[in-house]
Chain A
Amino acid sequence: MAPLLSAAAVVKRFGAAPALDGVTLAVERAECVALVGESGAGKSTLLRCFNRLVEPDGGAVSVRGRDVRDTDPILLRRGIGYVPQEGGLLPHWRIARNVGVVPWLAGDPAADRLARDALQLVGLEPERYAERWPRELSGGQRQRAAIARALAARPEVVLLDEPFGALDAITRAELQTTFRRLQRELGLTAVLVTHDLREALELGDRVVVMRAGRIEQAAAPATLLGEPATAYVAELLARARVRDP
């Protein structure tokens, strides 16, 4: 079966500098791929190619076997869950409205029920949180709500752009656990961008190490740990001290 998401020799330049320099990647159904690398490695750019927030200069991107250039970008985005780093909740909307926005945009009359179901999934009691304002929630709760928003329309695919990067260590660990559980239970296909190698190893079925717009190595965590393909990957592993007991 064809991969659910694929990028083939994708090139993207911002000005003269290449952000993506011939990247090829396939993501299988129900797989969680973690993109990891330093700032400017191109991981967010690659992520945003899958929902056409970024249009590649070369190569091809497809979702569910269909070239994204042949899709309506608005409908494409509504069919893919998205979680940005700061949550991106609309500050003038209550939590329930925020979470139900995607089905609501699609005209689904069950938007509110879907929103409440999604809140339940991420561990926010709808009775308690549905009518709150985003500013009344903690950072971790807001990020849970953002995940709920990404899941409310029950998409197959979820894109997460440094979703836990702004949280404190304890909250981050809680959210990582919740996400991993949901991803497995719901069989989500997920691409997760992070600059934290430990997080990538923790959450990814496969870890893709990127550097300067290219993929250094794409492998399962155990493989990456055991056989770093390049000196850069080895150095990254050493720096993150993930091999320490």
Chain B
Amino acid sequence: MRRAATAALIALASAATSGAAQAPPARRAPAEPGRPIVVASKPFGESYLLAEMFAQVLEAHGFAVERRPGLGATELAFEALRTGAIDVYPEYTGTGLTAILHEQPIADPRETFARVATEFERRWGIRWLPPLGFENTYAIAVRRETAESLGLRTLSDLARAAPGLTAGLSPDFIGRPDGLPGIARAYGIRLKAVHALGPAVKYQALAAGKVDVIDGYATDGLIARYDLVVLADDRRFFPPYQAAALVGARLPREAPRAVLALEALSGRITEATMRRLNRRVEADNEPIARVAADAIGELGLGAGGAETAAGEARGDAGRQPLGAYLATQAPTLLRLTLRHLLLVGISLAAAVLLAMPLGLLLERAPRAAEGAIRAVGLLQTIPGIALLAFMIPLLGIGVVPALVALLLYSLYPILRNTYTGVRNADPEAVSAALAIGMTPGQVLRYVRLPLAAPVIMAGIRTAAVIDVGTATLAAFIGAGGLGDPIVAGLSLSDTRMILSGAIPAALLALLVDAGLGAVEMAVRGER
């Protein structure tokens, strides 16, 4: 019954597709010269790899492709798709059901797919292409010797041993209903302690014996690399997470042939294949572009010789020492550094132009000042990812929302220091200036402002250094910069790659601070 429903749905979808293909020629389908197809991923290894495969398949069919790898997380990537900023990214049915639709997990994979396919189409016109062929559910893993000494094979076994074990789980998993709270209820698992660990450190922590249990994904390449045992979900608690291409509403209209090209991947990737591919990316540090090209070559879908943006950040697979690695990455890093500097420069300049006049204005309205400045300070407390997520519906993805986010984060230090600086400027000098006949405007221009200059400059320098750090967030929204290798490196547990972004970012922060220090000297200079 459900199978039939799914089949009917797919048939309907294809019908719609072919219908669109016969649409008037105003909507040129193949390889539109105007707009490339935007292929995105979420920031973890498998998502990068699948997106790269999508991209290469599309390129093999002659489509121009723009890659936006590593978009923040589910909310960001989905928001970008919903608003048409991207055209396709790999998603998982279980995630669609629980994290996007906020519905209870359904045990049956086909029913899950049918549900998300129907709802996404109905609500947003977004289409789930038929699943790629593998599931990537949560995997609860332990070290082999732990499994052997305690006799652990299933999650029911884990429930028995849990009071003596410490877990290191991703913050995401600790919070979501289909994560720790769910298995704790379903299996009665009570762990001795639970630490929130990021994906980059989880596996190392487990291997080093700092924790005994971690969560991962069934297809993680690192499970094999660290020789871990995945405990069976014997009560079938986890919902099915079938991987599939999630396609925005515009693509079937504008380039139906692209959708057909992507559908060629449906049902072609097994769990074993995916694990092998992931291992090449995550454990052997092979370039994503090469692994993707091999994979679609094996499937007979590739054009061969594709070169990519996602692959660029990785360079050669060899275990070069950091210095040599940085040297080979120099052109890429230079480009990313310039982009980073551009993001910081523009957002900082805009923040100065906005916050300084506002600070001076508030100096005249001290009653409104504290409240206004605190309100701006509140912006500082919004987590970066959340701010980016709020902004997608308004500004889409890419450089513009990144600049706006950075601008908002730079306002507070400049505003606060401008206000405090002009307000606390030498009171003797200020009252004397008034008494000898300066207008309030002249007092501001000739007395308060110059006297506050060091404090204001200090605020600008603070904002600049924060900005250089925060600009790494831009990677989550496809704006580029040094965040790209950091985010990719974190997702791939590739320390070298993380450092290739983090070291230039740190140097840049020092450099920017020193540069503004020189400006400050000039500003303070005598007259």
Spell out A's residues near B (CB within 8 Å): 48, 51, 53, 74-79, 82, 84, 86-94, 101-102, 105, 133, 146, 149-150
**Residue B436 contacts which of A86, A93, A101 (CB distance < 8 angstroms)?**
A101
A132 smallest CB distance to B (angstroms):
11
CB <8 Å contact, A89 and B432: yes
Residue pair A84, B451 in contact (C-beta under 8 Å): no
Determine which of B437, B450, B526 lies in contact with A78 in the assembled complex, contact meaning CB atoms within 8 Å: B437
In the bound assembly, the distance between CA atoms of A232 and B446 in angstroms comes to 45
CA of A146 to CA of B436, assembled, Å: 11
Proximity string of chain B (424-467) to chain A, C-beta cutoff 8 Å, 1 when within and 0 when not: 00101101111111110010001100110000000000000000
- A-B pairs, top 10 by smallest CB distance, nearest first, are A88-B432, A78-B437, A77-B437, A82-B435, A86-B428, A88-B428, A92-B450, A84-B432, A90-B429, A74-B437
Contact of B435 among A51, A79, A93, A105 (CB under 8 A): A51
CB distance from B458 to the nearest CB of A (A): 17
Q: How far is the CB of B130 from chain A (nearest CB, A)?
A: 72
CB-based nearest B residue for A90:
B429
Q: How many residues of B contact A (CB 8 A)?
A: 19
Least CB distance, B521 to chain A, in whole angstroms: 14
Closest to B433 in A: A90
Chain B residues contacting A150 (CB-CB under 8 Å) are: 436
Q: Is the CB of A77 within 8 A of B435?
A: yes
A102-B437, A150-B436 known; 10 new pairs, CB 8 Å cut-off, are A74-B437, A76-B437, A79-B437, A84-B432, A90-B432, A90-B433, A91-B426, A92-B450, A93-B527, A102-B436
**CB atoms of B450 and A88 under 8 A apart:** no
Selected from A53, A94, A101, the residue in CB contact (under 8 A) with B526 is: A94
The answer to whether B428 and A105 touch across the interface, beta carbons within 8 angstroms, is no
Q: Across the interface, which residues of B come within 8 angstroms of A94, CB to CB?
A: 526
B527 surroundings in chain A (CB, below 8 A): 92-93
List residues of chain B with CB under 8 Å of any chain A CB: 426, 428-429, 431-439, 442, 446-447, 450-451, 526-527
Contacts A84-B428, A91-B426; A74 near B436 (Cβ below 8 A): no
Nearest residue (CB) in A for B453 is A92
Chain A residues, Cβ within 8 Å of B433: 88, 90
Minimum CB–CB distance from B370 to chain A (whole Å) comes to 22
With the chains together, A145 CA to B446 CA distance in Å? 19
Count A/B pairs, Cβ under 8 Å: 59
Q: Which residues of B contact A82 (CB under 8 A)?
A: 432, 435-436
Cβ B438 vs Cβ A105 within 8 A: yes
Smallest Cβ distance from B445 to chain A, in angstroms?
12
Closest-CB distance, A162 to chain B (whole angstroms): 12
Contacts of B437 in A (CB 8 A): 74-79, 102, 105
Contact A84 B438, beta carbon cutoff 8 Å: no
| Complex contacts, B428 vs chain A, CB 8 Å | 84, 86-88
Question: Which chain A residue has the least Cβ–Cβ distance from B438?
Answer: A105
Q: How far is the CB of A229 from chain B (nearest CB, A)?
A: 32
Q: How far, in whole Å, are A166 and B434 apart by their CA atoms in the complex?
A: 21
A90 to B526, CA, bound (A): 12
A76–B333 Cα gap in the complex (Å)? 63
Could you say which of B435, B446, B451 contacts A53, with CB atoms under 8 Å apart? B435
Contact partners of B426 in chain A: CB under 8 A: 91
A164 to B318, CA, bound (A): 79
Most chain A beta-carbon neighbours within 10 Å: one of B426, B428, B432, B451 = B432
Q: Are A105 and B432 neighbours in the complex by a CB distance under 8 Å?
A: no
- Can you report 9 A-B residue pairs in the complex whose CB atoms are below 8 A from each other? A53-B435, A77-B434, A79-B437, A84-B428, A87-B432, A88-B431, A94-B526, A102-B437, A105-B442
A93 to B526, alpha carbons, bound, how many Å? Answer: 8
Bound-state Cα–Cα, A102 to B433, Å: 10
Indicate if the CB atoms of A78 and B434 lie closer than 8 Å: no
Of all chain B residues, the one with the shortest Cβ separation from A88 is B432
Across-interface contacts of B442 in A (CB, < 8 A): 105
CB within 8 A of B431: which of A74, A76, A84? A84
Docked complex Cα distance between A92 and B433 (Å): 13
- In the bound assembly, the distance between CA atoms of A51 and B431 in angstroms comes to 13
A79 to B436, CA, bound (A): 9
Closest Cβ of chain B to A30, distance in Å, is: 22
**Nearest chain B residue, comparing its CB with the CB of A84:** B432
Across the interface, name the chain A residue whose C-beta is closest to B435. A82
How far, in Å, is B448 (CB) from chain A's closest CB? 11
Once bound together, how far apart are the Cα atoms of A220 and B14, in whole Å? 110
Bound CA–CA A48/B431 (angstroms): 12
Closest to B430 in A: A88
Closest CB in chain B relative to A113 CB, distance in Å: 19
- CB nearest neighbor in A for B450: A92
Q: Which A residues lie within 8 Å of B434 (CB)?
A: 53, 77
Chain A contacts for B435, CB-based, 8 A: 48, 51, 53, 77, 82, 84, 88
Please name the residue on chain B nearest to A85 by beta carbon: B428
* B438 and A88 contact, CB distance less than 8 A: no
A146 contact set on B, CB distance < 8 A? 432
Chain B residue, CB-CB nearest to A82: B435
Chain B residue nearest in CB terms to A48: B435
Q: A89–B436 Cα gap in the complex (Å)?
A: 11
- A146 CA to B428 CA in the complex, in Å? 12
Q: Which residues of B contact A93 (CB under 8 A)?
A: 527
Residues of A within 8 A of B447 (CB): 90
B436–A77 CB distance below 8 A: yes
A75 to B434, CA, bound (A): 11
Query: Using Cβ atoms and an 8 Å threshold, which residues of chain B touch A101?
Result: 436
Distance in angstroms from B35 CB to nearest chain A CB is: 56
In the assembled complex, the Cα of A144 lies from the Cα of B431 at a distance in Å of 18
Q: Which residues of A contact B431 (CB under 8 A)?
A: 84, 88
Task: Report the bound CA distance from A94 to B527 in whole Å.
Answer: 8
Considering the chains assembled together, what is the distance between the CA atoms of A76 and B439 in angstroms?
Answer: 12
Q: How far is the CA of A91 from the CA of B264 in the complex (A)?
A: 76
Question: Closest Cβ of chain B: how far from A112's Cβ, in Å?
Answer: 14
Complex: A133 Cα to B446 Cα, angstroms: 16
Find chain B residues with CB under 8 A from A88 CB.
428-429, 431-433, 435
Cα A74 to Cα B442 in complex, Å, equals 11
Contacts of A77 in B (CB 8 A): 434-437
- Cα distance A150–B437 in the bound complex, in angstroms: 11
